[in-house]
Amino acid sequence: MHRTRAIVSLAVVAAASVSLIGCSADGGGGDADSIRIVYQKTDGFVALDDLMQKVKPEFEAANPGITVELEPIVADEGDYATKLALMQQSPDTAPDVFYEDTFKVRSDVDAGYLLNLDDHLEEWEDWEQFNEGAREAGRADDGSIYAVPLGTDTRGIWYSKSVLEAAGVALPWEPKTWDDILETARQVKAASPDKVAFNAYAGKPAGEGSVMQGFGMLIYGTDDTLYDADSQKWVTGSQGFIDSLQFIETLYSEGLAPAPDVALDGSMWQKLFGEWFPGGQIAATIEGSWSPSFWKDGGQYAWPGYVDDIGVAAFPTQDGQGDGAVSLSGGWTLAVGAQSKNPDAAFDFLAMALNRENSLEYNIANSQIAVRTDVAEDPAYLEANPFIGYFTDLVTFTHFRPATADYPQISAEIQAATEAVMTGQMSPEEAAAAYDEAVVGIVGDDNVTG
Q: Check if the beta carbon of residue 308 is closer than 8 Å to that of residue 314.
A: no
Q: Check whether 221 has a pLDDT greater than 70.
A: yes
Beta bridge partners of 228: 233
Please report the pLDDT score of residue 228 as a whole number.
93
Mark whether 183 and 313 lie in a shared domain. Answer: yes
- The pLDDT of 248-266, averaged and rounded, is 97
Write out the E strands in 236-309: 284-288
Closest CA to 67 of 24, 41, 31: 31
CA distance 105 to 103: 6
Digit-coded pLDDT (tens) for 159-190 = 999 999 999 999 999 999 999 999 999 999 99
Mark whether 375 and 360 lie in a shared domain. Answer: yes
What are the C-alpha distances in Å from 25 to residues 14, 29, 71, 142, 413? Answer: 16, 8, 12, 34, 36
Q: Check if the beta carbon of residue 155 is closer than 8 Å to that of residue 217.
A: yes
Q: Check if the beta carbon of residue 140 is closer than 8 Å to that of residue 146.
A: yes
Q: Check whether 13 has a pLDDT greater than 70.
A: no
Mark whether 233 and 120 lie in a shared domain. Answer: no
Closest CA to 315 of 199, 187, 217: 217
22 — pLDDT class (breaks 50, 70, 90): very low
* CATH code for position 259: 3.40.190.10
- The pLDDT of 242-264, averaged and rounded, is 97
CA angle 361, 153, 265 (to 5 degrees): 105
135 domain residue, yes or no: yes
212, HSE (Cβ side, Cα atoms, 13 Å): 27
Which of 197-201, 372-376, 378-382 is modeled with the greatest confidence?
197-201
Mark whether 130 and 167 lie in a shared domain. Answer: no
Mark whether 177 and 304 lie in a shared domain. Answer: yes
Q: Check whether 21 has a pLDDT greater than 60.
A: no
Query: Total structural domains in the chain?
Result: 2
Beta strand 34-41 with 97-101 is parallel
Please report the pLDDT score of residue 31 as a whole number.
63
**Which of 358, 386, 414 marks a domain boundary?**
386
**Which of 342, 360, 386 marks a domain boundary?**
386
110 domain residue, yes or no: yes
- The pLDDT of 379-389, averaged and rounded, is 92
Amino acid at 420: A
Digit-coded pLDDT (tens) for 279-303 = 999 999 999 999 999 999 888 899 9
CA distance 381 to 370: 8
Mark whether 267 and 345 lie in a shared domain. Answer: no
pTM of the predicted structure, to 2 decimals? 0.80
Q: What is the DSSP letter of 314?
A: P
What is the span of the domain harbouring residue 432? 155-329+404-449
Digit-coded pLDDT (tens) for 187-203 = 999 999 999 999 999 99
Query: Can you give the three-state secondary structure of 384-422, one letter per residue?
Result: HCCCHHHHHHHHHHEEECCCCCCHHHHHHHHHHHHHHHH
CA distance 152 to 133: 10
Beta strand 233-235 with 448-449 is parallel
Kind and range of the H or E run holding 157: strand 155-160
3 domain residue, yes or no: no
What are the C-alpha distances in Å from 408 to residues 45, 104, 107, 438? Answer: 23, 7, 8, 13
Mark whether 425 and 315 lie in a shared domain. Answer: yes
CB within 8 A of 1, min separation 6: which ones?
A: 40, 42, 44, 45, 76, 77
Mark whether 437 and 349 lie in a shared domain. Answer: no
Q: Check whether 71 has a pLDDT greater than 70.
A: yes
160 domain residue, yes or no: yes
Mark whether 363 and 379 lie in a shared domain. Answer: yes
Q: Is the dihedral of CA 251, 207, 449, 429 positive or negative?
A: positive
Beta strand 34-41 with 67-74 is parallel
